[in-house]
Amino acid sequence: MAEKKEAFVKEITPQSEDFSRWYTDVVRRAELADYSPVKGCMVIRPYGYAIWELIQQALDRRFKATGHVNAYFPLFIPRSLLLKEADHVEGFAPQVAWVTRGGNEDLEEPLVIRPTSEAIIGTMFAKWIQSWRDLPILINQWANVVRWEKVTRLFLRTTEFLWQEGHTAHETEAEAEEETLRMLGVYQDVAEHELAMPVFAGRKSESEKFAGAARTYSIEALMKDGRALQAGTSHNLGQNFARAFDIQFQARDKSLQYVWGTSWGASTRLVGAVIMTHGDDSGLVLPPRIAPYQVVIVPIPRGDWRETVLPRARELQAGLLNAGVRVMLDDRDAYTPGWKYAEWELRGVPLRLEIGPKDIERSQVVLVRRDSREKLAVPMDGVARTVATLLEDVQRSIFERALRFREDHTTCASSYEEFRQILEGRPGFVLAPWCGTEECEAEIKSETQATIRNMPADRGTPGGRCIRCDRPASVDVYFAKAY
């Protein structure tokens, strides 16, 4: 049994040996996703999709609570529409897929498969919006999008991916900015309270902003290899798309005005972020709030366990289900308890509940935490309450662990020499003053591979000097090597 477990875990490369291989090993062994016969496209397997469904629900609840409604727009965008917003087409045209034939005929105008939907939604907004009374429009779409990628990675960067994209139109610039920041806040809330993943929320630099936006904000998480990952973006589009797609309304003063727009998105990439924030050498560590199974019950097959242990395990399962806990009873004959322990650790189930003949004698069960591996014998009576408390504790503990990791890996650099040194190895975030020029930003990137992740809203740089050029700095920014 011990041997089997050993063999099992060996299939996963240790993080310290090769983080990137560790990641792929975990994704595939835990059956989160698989490669497909289509280049750059992945299959999201049921276990991975179940995590995504829980993330979706967490987001969708908050979208609805903030007044948004869901809708669905076409997958295809006629080429002429994509071309309307100059920056947008420049940003996206090189990475789109083209449909040139439908049925048995060549198309007169080729269609782009949406890389994002501003162009098609803007066209519809122009049709729907007449007066200030029609505003705001607060729409979200759950959809697949396609961006032709050269180098792909399961969940993190694939040619097709699933996401949500919010698109809104407002009467005033101030309302659009407020909406942009509100949705950034929703992303931060979901990241921190559902995914247990601390993030820095802030504004992107000009060079990193969305093609066509006035301002882009992002949340940035830190992966266990010290690289940052952009986990959600929120764009204030200004009037750029309104002008390109002629989205005008009669204002309260009867004048004709362009609407102010926003768009914001988060994707299946979040599943990858969760894996790399919490996982360890035994596999996944899932935050209870988005774990498809929060508890796995493993009955210990001793003696006539099918008559003695299994009925109690079933009662426990029913009691936990009843208490709203997502629970799986692994009563498979073909596998030993040891094999099951390793399997469900690999799959990141937050709590394991073991029950055998001795436990029944003692009216207890054994609970094992995935995060700390702590083992607790607890009374069978009231086990649902104990489980609920423990799940909350696991949720909090892994957030705090991730937060400590980020704190340990966020440094301030006072000289460029120091800055470059930090950025070797597994650096994390480096907070440093920046002069605000694209030249310095580009040079830093080519010299260190680090990019500006974002600029925190609450930090000025009184008297600071640019880490690269030593001119007076305009702002402190987070640098990191990023996914």
Give the binding site for its own copies (CB under 8 A): 34, 36-38, 41-46, 49-50, 52-53, 69-78, 81, 94-104, 110-111, 113, 120, 123-124, 127-128, 133, 139, 143-144, 146, 148, 150, 159-160, 162, 334
Q: Could you tell me the smallest distance in angstroms from the CB atom of residue 48 to its own copies? A: 8
For residue 455, give both structure tokens: 């600029």
Minimum distance, C-beta of residue 65 to its own copies, in the bound complex (Å): 13
Q: Which is nearer to its own copies, 159 or 461 (CB)?
A: 159
Q: Pick the closer one to its own copies by CB: 147 or 204.
A: 147
CA 152/CA 159 separation, integer angstroms = 7
Three-state SS across 249-285? Answer: EECCCCCEEECEEEEEEEECHHHHHHHHHHCECCECC
Report which DSSP code applies to 206: G
Q: How far is the CB of 137 from its own copies (least distance, A)?
A: 9
Query: Distance (Å, rounded) from C-alpha 427 to C-alpha 105?
Result: 54
Nearer CB in complex with its own copies: 348/433: 348
Tell me whether residue 96 or residue 242 sits nearer to its own copies (CB atom).
96
Cis peptide, bond prior to residue 136, ω within 30 of zero: yes
State the nearest-atom distance from the C-beta of 468 to its own copies, in Å. 33
Nearer to its own copies, 146 or 223 (CB): 146
- For residue 202, give every residue at least 6 positions away whose Cβ sits within 8 Å of its Cβ, in sequence order, or none: 217, 218, 220, 453, 454, 455, 456, 457, 478
Q: What amino acid is encoded at 194 in this protein?
A: E
Q: How far is the CB of 352 from its own copies (least distance, A)?
A: 21
Q: How far is the CB of 123 from its own copies (least distance, A)?
A: 5
Gap between the terminal Cα atoms of the chain? 39
**Residue whose CB is less far from its own copies, 159 or 240:** 159
DSSP for 140-197? EEEEEEE---SS-BTTTB-SEEEEEEEEEEESSHHHHHHHHHHHHHHHHHHHHHTS--
The closest of 160, 168, 185 to 70, measured between CA atoms, is 168
Minimum CB distance to its own copies smaller for 35 or for 416: 35
Q: How far is the CB of 429 from its own copies (least distance, A)?
A: 32
What is the rounded CA–CA span in Å between residue 175 and residue 259?
A: 11
